[in-house]
Each structure stands twice: as structure tokens, then as C-alpha cells.
């Protein structure tokens, strides 16, 4: 792709790579449950945690990027309604799998309150459900989207510490008080940040997209450096969950990672793009929903009581941990590849039926 021209209508491989790498680290970080408790400390563990802390921001950022990209392209290509319906169906699939995972963990039929427990899939699905009408409405006016959704991102991150004390039904969606792990405040902020970049990618040049991402990264670093200001503005709050300082650091790293992947995509040879390693990452990127479900089942739930945590949780040293983590990644890849083929067939049938 020429640097000064508007992006082509095909997939942006850098986003598939971002999701694919996130899946690998997601499987690795969940497999840490197999480690012996005394090994969950020290330089190696702390270094892994630093990378693992970027998984949820990268997933939610990529989700926002993709939905904005698709809506703007649909409006520009005369397929606005079809794109909205297709996106709505995919959001429904995400929320369905989120409920399925909650069913695997909790007795949702005896205690339906667990359906309100928001994990990462539920957060992404609900955030996209909120974002879709906004982006669909503004899709014919793409230049208005980046500044508007930045305001919404700032509101999500800025309001998160203030939402910590809230209780009642809304607390499931707005904070962790009721057991939700990824409430919409602040995590929906990453979806809006991604949407600002995705909408730009649909109509501007690759160079403009890179500048925008660098600007987001600079803003994140500025927020991170102004830690004293946030402590003065807010009452006491959980730093690692809601503090804007923490999230500014994370979104800056994610944006710079996307810039690096865009650069790699721009210079990659056709041979590299066809290589097994790239196709491995891309499969995880395009089938991340299936990968999430299958690795959870293999690690924590399984069939007829066959799952890794049953035999190895809190029992592994580092060599056995890495062996099992790699085996888990391989098994997840195989199942995701099979699911990808089945989904492509299903998608064609749905498309033909209108």
C-alpha cells in the first residue's frame, strides 16, 4: 500500500496480528493458574504480567477499530444497512459465547445474577452494542467520528474512579463491586479509542492513521506521567483497576504496537505473508472468539471432567508449565481452525439466505 493513498478496502492485517498475538498471551496468562503458588513472583513472573496486562486493552481496542472500520466502509460503499445487520449478528455471537462461558463457570440457571457478571467477552459485546448505533449513525460523516469518540473514551476513563462506590444492579456494568472483572468503566474506553483509529483508517491515508495512533500514544503517556493530578482529582480508588494513569500507560503501548505492526505489514514480502508463522497468528486473530472459548474449556472445564487444571493447577514448575502452555496453544489452534472452517460455511449459508 502506498503511504500517501487511502487504505484499500481489504483487511488490515496488522489488526489480525494484534488479535492473534493477544490470543497467545491470553492463553499463556490463563495457564499461569497451573504454576505452584511460590513461583508466582520474581522477575520472570513479573515480566510476564507486564505483557499479560496488555491483552484486554489490545482485544478491546481491536474490537473498536474493526467495528468503526466496517461501518464507515459500509456507508462509503453503499452497503450501510447490510454492514449494520452483519455487525449486530456478530455482537450477538460474542454475547452468546460470553453467557456460555459464564454457564461453564457458574450455575446461571439456579442463580441468574451470574449472567450480569461482566468478563472480557461480555465487556466487548456490550461496548460494541453501545458503539454500533453511534457509529452507524455517523458513518456517512466519518470525519466527525474520531473527535467525538475521543470524548466518549475520555468520559469512560475519567468516570471510572467515581463509579467505584456505586452499588445495585448498575454496579455489575460499571465497577467490580458485584463480581464483574471487566466493567464498562473504564474498559469501554479502549473500544472508543480503537473506533477513533478504525474510522480514520476507512477514509484517510496510512500515514494519517500512523500519526493519529502516535498522537493517542503521546496522550496516553501524558496521562500516565500526570499521576499526581489524578490523585488530587479523585477520592481513594483502586489504581490497577480504574486509575487513568494506569490505563494511559496501557493504551500508549497498544497504540505503539499497532504502529509497529502496520510498519511490518507495509514492508512484509509476499513470502512472509504466506509463511506458516504469519498464518498461525492470523488464524488466532480471525478466530479469536473460538480461541477464547476452546482454551477456557481445555484449561478449566473440559468434557467429562477432562481438563488441565483438574490435574495440574498449582502444581507445575516452570518447565512443565511451558510444556503444558504450548500444548494448550496447539490444541486451541486445531480446534479454532476447525471452527473457522465451520463458521465460513455457516457465514456463506447466512449470506445466501439474506
Query: What are the pLDDT tens digits along the chain (354 aa)?
Result: 333 444 445 789 999 999 999 999 999 999 999 999 999 988 999 989 888 999 999 999 999 999 999 999 999 888 888 899 999 999 999 999 999 999 988 888 888 888 888 999 999 999 999 999 999 999 999 999 999 999 999 999 999 999 888 888 888 888 888 888 999 999 999 999 999 999 999 999 999 999 999 999 999 999 998 877 777 788 888 887 888 999 999 999 999 999 999 999 999 999 999 999 999 999 999 999 999 999 999 999 877 778 999 999 999 999 999 999 999 999 999 999 999 999 888 878 877 775
pTM for the whole structure: 0.92
Of the candidates 31, 29, 33, the one whose C-alpha atom is nearest the C-alpha of residue 50 is 29
Dihedral sign from CA coordinates of 16, 22, 28, 31: negative
Q: Cβ(209)–Cβ(200) under 8 Å? A: yes
Compute the distance between CA of residue 102 and CA of residue 4 in angstroms, rounded to an integer.
Answer: 46
Please return the burial class of 334, using the count of CB atoms within 10 Å of its CB with bins 0-12, 13-18 and 19+.
Answer: exposed
How does DSSP classify residue 7? P
Q: Cβ(87)–Cβ(93) under 8 Å? A: no
Compute the distance between CA of residue 186 and CA of residue 322 in angstroms, rounded to an integer.
Answer: 32
Buried b vs exposed e over 193-225: b needs ≥16 C-beta within 10 Å? bbbbbbbbbbbbbbebbbebbeebbebbbebbe
Compute the distance between CA of residue 280 and CA of residue 265 in angstroms, rounded to an integer.
Answer: 15
Dihedral sign from CA coordinates of 298, 325, 102, 291: negative
Q: Cβ(214)–Cβ(253) under 8 Å? A: no
Amino acid at each position: 500500500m502506498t503511504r500517501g493513498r487511502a487504505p484499500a478496502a481489504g483487511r488490515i492485517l496488522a489488526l489480525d496480528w494484534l488479535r492473534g498475538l493477544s490470543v497467545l498471551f491470553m492463553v499463556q496468562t490463563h495457564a499461569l493458574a497451573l504454576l505452584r503458588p511460590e513461583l508466582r513472583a520474581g522477575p520472570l513472573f513479573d515480566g510476564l504480567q507486564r505483557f499479560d496486562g496488555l491483552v484486554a486493552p489490545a482485544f478491546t481496542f481491536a474490537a473498536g477499530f474493526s467495528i468503526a472500520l466496517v461501518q464507515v466502509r459500509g456507508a462509503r460503499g453503499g452497503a450501510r444497512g447490510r454492514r449494520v445487520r452483519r455487525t449486530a449478528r456478530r455482537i450477538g455471537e460474542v454475547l452468546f459465547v460470553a453467557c456460555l462461558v459464564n454457564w461453564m463457570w457458574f450455575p446461571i440457571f439456579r442463580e441468574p445474577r451470574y449472567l450480569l457478571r461482566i468478563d472480557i467477552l461480555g465487556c466487548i459485546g456490550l461496548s460494541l452494542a453501545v458503539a454500533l448505533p453511534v457509529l452507524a449513525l455517523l458513518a456517512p460523516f466519518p470525519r466527525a467520528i474520531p473527535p467525538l469518540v475521543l470524548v466518549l473514551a475520555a468520559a469512560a476513563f475519567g468516570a471510572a474512579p467515581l463509579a467505584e462506590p456505586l452499588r445495585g444492579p448498575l454496579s455489575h456494568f460499571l465497577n467490580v463491586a458485584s463480581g464483574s472483572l471487566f466493567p464498562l468503566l473504564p474498559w469501554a474506553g479502549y473500544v472508543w479509542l480503537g473506533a477513533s483509529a478504525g474510522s480514520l483508517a476507512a477514509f484517510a491515508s496510512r500515514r494519517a492513521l500512523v500519526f493519529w495512533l502516535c498522537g493517542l500514544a503521546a496522550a496516553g503517556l501524558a496521562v500516565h506521567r500526570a499521576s499526581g493530578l489524578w490523585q488530587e482529582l479523585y477520592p481513594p480508588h483502586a489504581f490497577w483497576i480504574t486509575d487513568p494513569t494506569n490505563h494511559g500507560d496501557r493504551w500508549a503501548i497498544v497504540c505503539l504496537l499497532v504502529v509497529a505492526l502496520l510498519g511490518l505489514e507495509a514492508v512484509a514480502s509476499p513470502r512472509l505473508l504466506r509463511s506458516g508463522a504469519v498464518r498461525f497468528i492470523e488464524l488466532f486473530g480471525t478466530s479469536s472468539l473460538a480461541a477464547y472459548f476452546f482454551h477456557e474449556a481445555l484449561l478449566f472445564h473440559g468434557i467429562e471432567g477432562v481438563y488441565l487444571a483438574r490435574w495440574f493447577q498449582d502444581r507445575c514448575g516452570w518447565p512443565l508449565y511451558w510444556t503444558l502452555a504450548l500444548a494448550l496453544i496447539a490444541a486451541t489452534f486445531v480446534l479454532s481452525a476447525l471452527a473457522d472452517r465451520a463458521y465460513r460455511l455457516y457465514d456463506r449459508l447466512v449470506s445466501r439466505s439474506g
